[in-house]
Amino acid sequence: MSELLVLIDHTDGEPRKISLQILTAAKQLAGAAGDTVAAVWLGEGGSDVAATLGNYGADKLYHWDSSDAQAYVTLPQVEALEAAFEASGADTLFFASSNHVKDVAARLAIRLDAGVITDATDVRAGEGGRLDVTKEVFGGDKITHSRVAEGRKQFVGIASNAFPAEDTGGGAPELVALDMSLSDAAMATTVDAVEKQGTADRPDIGEAAIVVAGGRGLGDQAGFEQMEQLADVLGAGVGASRAATDAGWYPHRFQIGQTGRTISPTLYLGSGISGAIQHRAGMQTSQHIVAINKDPEAPIFQIADFGIVGDLYQVVPKLIEELRARKG
């Protein structure tokens, strides 16, 4: 029996949805082999959310409850995660395929001579304890099945919404504090701080079950007001194509595509987006795709489950009106 480590990505003291999804997947993989799922929490508040992590599959929780700035910087996190490997004797790590966490995992992989596979959409138990990992490459044109070579630790980054998050009521996990000191190279000092700006109460597009996206066809920045209205009715996140963000109509952090965010919601609803390969690479793993475009030849219709050929400024207001009426 061995331990499967799951690095918990968290914001404001709460685990992100993707981390709960990964815990669920790890628990399913561990069950057949009789392995233990061990969550790793870096930063303050780990012990406070132990019960939640246990409910989603964590049997053990390694936590570095540091309130210092170091706990949220890459190199200190690498050293803390290395300490978790030393304490656990694990050879497998699951983590969220976000930019920061991938950076942490890559640096640690060099130290521990591990193989790294990111953006996995499925993970299955293979022969000899090796994991069979499925992912999409070349903008989704190819599906690959990979595994880390024998004799090396295996690090697997999981894509958002690749697995469901299931609360099984597992109870509080065993707590193990990581008693460690940072190397001189890892010491960090906060030199500046900026107060977080207020944001609309919408889910992050990387984790949202529903994403509403707008593109060049909106015509101007004002068009995104309609996208936000539609999103608020649906409880959705709002995204944009590169053309829209480059035009300054919506912030770049909401860009979906090969050079932006990769999403995989249950429902993607795109308006005024042609569906060029750059954008499709970031959203075509969505479970259900709905497209609104006045061009019947738009590439987005090739992958859409439902398509509406028409003027979005006639379709979207009626859609908002109908949804509001149904909600009462």
Q: 210: number of CA atoms within 13 Å, CB side?
A: 13
For 212-256, the pLDDT digits (tens) are 999 999 999 999 999 999 999 999 999 999 999 999 999 999 999
Angle subtended at Cα 37 by Cα 166 and Cα 40, rounded to the nearest 5 degrees: 95
Give the pairing of strands 10-11 and 131-137: unpaired
For residue 309, what are its two tokens? 């050929």
Q: Does residue 198 have a pLDDT over 60?
A: no
Which domains, ranges and CATH numbers included, belong to the chain? 3-186 (3.40.50.620), 210-327 (3.40.50.1220)
The stretch 189-194 carries a mean pLDDT of 66
User: Which DSSP helix (H) or strand (E) runs through 63?
Assistant: strand 60-64
The least confident of 27-31, 56-60, 163-167, 179-183 is 179-183
The least confident of 82-86, 199-203, 270-274 is 199-203
Query: Helices 99-112 and 74-88: crossing angle, nearest 10°?
Result: 50
pLDDT of 220: 94
Quote the CA–CA distance of 281 and 291 in Å, as a whole number. 16
For residue 318, what are its two tokens? 């009626």
Q: Does residue 200 have a pLDDT over 60?
A: no
pLDDT of 189: 67
Instruction: Answer with the residue of higher pLDDT: 196 or 188.
Output: 188
For 28-50, the pLDDT digits (tens) are 999 867 899 999 999 888 889 99
For 122-136, the pLDDT digits (tens) are 999 988 889 999 998
pLDDT of 301: 96
For 99-125, the pLDDT digits (tens) are 889 999 999 999 999 999 999 999 999
Q: What is the 3-state secondary structure (H, E, C) of 104-157?
A: HHHHHHHHHCEEEEEEEEEEEECHHHCEEEEEEEHHHCEEEEECCCCCCEEEEE
Say what percent of the chain tops pLDDT 70: 94
Quote the CA–CA distance of 191 and 196 in Å, as a whole number. 16
pTM here? 0.81
For residue 130, what are its two tokens? 């090796």
